[in-house]
């Protein structure tokens, strides 16, 4: 009888621990921002415009210039946070989206950079690149896109 009383208490304790861990993990995630080169003429994009560029639905910025998205590698916490924030998509949903696009021959996913630093380096080499990064990597060489 003691086991039947103890087990619900143990389960409740495990559930509380799991919720606390999930909350702490979410709090530890960095703030992710969409950026372009500081030399780019682009100063703001809507959340939908950013999402459409990264999901292959748009290939140009509103001014008509080419938009080249750069993703971080799959599994990156910054990438996961970006897609959650800007596209309301989980990593599995992003994979499924690109699987459909590739299978039907309608496009290719963005090129990837191994790290935020590598994405930033690519951004500085080509002013048509748009990427995202942890806000802690932002400096005067990049412009954080205002999202109205």
- Please state the φ and ψ torsions of residue 141, each to the nearest 5 degrees: -85, -10
How confident is the model at residue 35, as a pLDDT?
Answer: 97
Answering whether pTM is above 0.85, one says no
Dig out the tokens for 19 from the structure.
């919720």
Residue ranges of the chain with per-residue pLDDT less than 70: 1-29, 148
How confident is the model at residue 99, as a pLDDT?
Answer: 95
β-pairing verdict for 68-72 and 111-113: parallel
How confident is the model at residue 148, as a pLDDT?
Answer: 63
How confident is the model at residue 20, as a pLDDT?
Answer: 44
How confident is the model at residue 146, as a pLDDT?
Answer: 85
């Amino acid at each position: 009888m003691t086991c039947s009383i103890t087990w619900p208490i143990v389960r409740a304790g495990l559930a509380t621990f799991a919720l606390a861990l999930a909350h702490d993990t979410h709090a530890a995630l960095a703030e992710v921002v969409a950026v372009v080169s500081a030399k780019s003429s682009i100063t703001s994009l809507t959340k939908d415009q950013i999402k459409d560029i990264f999901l292959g639905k748009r290939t140009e910025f509103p001014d008509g210039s080419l938009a080249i998205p750069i993703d971080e590698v799959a599994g990156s916490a910054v990438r996961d946070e970006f897609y959650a924030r800007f596209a309301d998509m989980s990593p599995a949903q992003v994979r499924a989206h690109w699987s459909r696009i590739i299978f039907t021959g309608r496009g290719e996913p963005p090129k990837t950079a191994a790290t935020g630093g590598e994405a930033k380096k690519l951004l500085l080499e080509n002013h048509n690149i748009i990427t995202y990064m942890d806000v802690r990597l932002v400096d005067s060489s990049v412009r954080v896109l205002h999202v109205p």
